[in-house]
Amino acid sequence: MNKISIKLGLLFLAFILVIEAGLFFYLYNGLANTRISEELEGLRLRGNSHRDVLEKHHDPATLSHVALMESEAETDVIIANEKGEIIRTSAPLLKGAKEAVEQWKGSSLAYQGEIMQGDWKSQPYIATASPIKVNKQSYGTVYMFKDTKDIQEMIARLQHHFYVVGAISVVFSIITIFALSKFITIPLIRMKQATQKLSQGDFSVRLGAHSRDELGQLGTSIQTLANELQRLKQERNEFLSSISHELQTPLTYLKGYADVAKRQSNSEDERNKYLNIIQEEAQRLSQLLKDLFQLAQLDQHTFLIQKQKIELYTYLKNIVEHFDLALKEKDIRLDFNCPKGIEFNIDPERFQQVVVNLLDNALKYSDDETEISLSVEKLPKRVNIVFKDQGIGIPSTDLPYVFDKLYRVEKSRSRKSGGHGLGLSIVKEIVEAHGGKVTIESKLGQGTTVKISLREDV
């Protein structure tokens, strides 16, 4: 009883049995009543037929002929005169027929005939009466009788047929319903097994969507969930691997240079050199942990965005000016194009991280004597901010993953290139927290374009 196929089967079977019982009961009553009505109507019409003959030939020979005809039939006849006295009968006669005629003597009868006894269940016979009239004068009555034993046997045979058909239909209903319920529950059982695997950390489930109904849609949803969990598991493993590598590298340098700095043979300049390296690696490690903490806040939706109306030209100009020295060192020209007077609601502190990260990436991966552009375009209810450089670009195979956490295009992870693969992830999260969208286009050797699209608050 714990299986859903059994529960569904029993539920469907109960409904089907109730419906079948109602239909069989209705059909049986209808057929039985129809057959009994036909028997009564046939008996009445037979009496009317004898009445019609006797109205035309009301003589002893005709009376005897009618009585003789019924003596060889399954029905009996009693012919009474206008006074109700019996003048002819068929033989043998049903027991109690004459007594019944005596009781019915003097009854007012319709010319088309009437049913005098219709109770076939408890009485030994059914009977009809057809009055004989000539020129509207009563000449007597034709009484027709039929043994109810034949009717009861006919009804018994009808019941037997219904019992047999009912039993067969119940058996087939049971087989069909349980087969169908099994067929219906097979996908559910597979889904149950799949969810059990998912709960155990096994995401390699395969649920083929063989139908477009609710079960097929549910299977597709579970399969999508499994694929997403598999992807998240893979990303988690890659993330942990990347984190361990990113943490291991500065820690290795810290330990290594600390050991070297402790040597008594080191000069003051060498010791200061090693201490500076240790300080740089410590700052790098601190920044990595800070960025990881920011991403954790963003993922948990605890990263608050406090917007205020900012005049973009002045705001972006102040950020750009902090890059003057770095730009001069590489002889890179910065083309800043932002119309004055554009005001927009942003979080100045958080959005500064976006601008700094993107400008820092553009500067880091651009060759000497190239150009970086920062342009702002005001559209109806929207502002586009575009960062473009003429740097080394990003391979097309890496482009879809650049916003993933700890993903770095340069697989060598050299310290010289800097960065730990979190900058663009933070950019994406902050922009989306502002209700905006960030996209990136790049071609290897031709540079990179990053576009931020922010919509006005409604």
The whole domain housing 394 covers 308-455
> 113 with 147, same domain?
yes
Pair of tokens at residue 409: 């295009």
> 359 with 418, same domain?
yes
Q: Is 244 within the bounds of a domain?
A: yes
CA distance 77 to 51: 11
Q: Is 197 within the bounds of a domain?
A: no
Q: Is 161 within the bounds of a domain?
A: no
> 365 with 248, same domain?
no
H or E element that contains 426: helix 423-433
> 118 with 135, same domain?
yes
Q: Is 231 within the bounds of a domain?
A: yes
The pLDDT confidence band at residue 439, using thresholds 50, 70 and 90, is: very high
pLDDT of residue 397: 86
> 259 with 315, same domain?
no
Q: Is 139 within the bounds of a domain?
A: yes
CA distance 103 to 123: 15
The dihedral region occupied by 249, where left means phi > 0, alpha psi between -120 and 50, and beta the remainder, is alpha
> 312 with 295, same domain?
no
Q: What is the pLDDT of residues 28-47, one digit of tens each?
A: 888 888 989 999 999 999 99
Please, are residues 408 and 419 in contact by the beta-carbon 8 Å criterion?
A: yes
> 286 with 358, same domain?
no
Residue the block writes with tokens 């990436």: 361
| CATH code for position 388 | 3.30.565.10
Does the pTM exceed 0.85?
no
* Cross-strand bridge partners of residue 79: 88, 142
Pair of tokens at residue 14: 């109960």
- Domain boundary pick from 299, 316, 334: 299
- Domain boundary pick from 249, 266, 299: 299
Provide the 8-state DSSP code for 75. Answer: E
> 38 with 97, same domain?
yes
CA distance 86 to 138: 15
Helices and strands in the chain: count of H runs, count of E runs: 10, 12
Q: Is 183 within the bounds of a domain?
A: no
Q: Is 68 within the bounds of a domain?
A: yes
> 38 with 125, same domain?
yes
Amino acid identity for residue 137 in this structure: Q
Q: How many CA atoms lie within 13 A of 311 on its CB side?
A: 7
Please, are residues 118 and 126 in contact by the beta-carbon 8 Å criterion?
A: yes
Checking if the pLDDT of 291 tops 80, the result is no
| CATH code for position 79 | 3.30.450.20
pLDDT of residue 23: 87
> 367 with 438, same domain?
yes
**Among 69, 55, 53, 47, CA closest to 130:** 47
Q: What is the pLDDT of residues 307-332, one digit of tens each?
A: 899 999 999 999 999 888 889 989 99
250 prior amide bond cis, ω within 30: no
Q: Is 357 within the bounds of a domain?
A: yes
pLDDT of residue 237: 74
H or E element that contains 133: strand 125-134
**Among 127, 131, 140, 141, CA closest to 111:** 131
pLDDT of residue 415: 44
Counted domains in the chain: 3
- Per the document, the length of the chain is 458
Q: What is the pLDDT of residues 196-227, one digit of tens each?
A: 877 777 767 777 656 666 667 777 777 778 77
* Cross-strand bridge partners of residue 125: 147
**Among 324, 407, 409, CA closest to 363:** 324
- Domain boundary pick from 134, 154, 174: 154
Provide the 8-state DSSP code for 340. Answer: T
Mean pLDDT across the chain, nearest whole number? 83
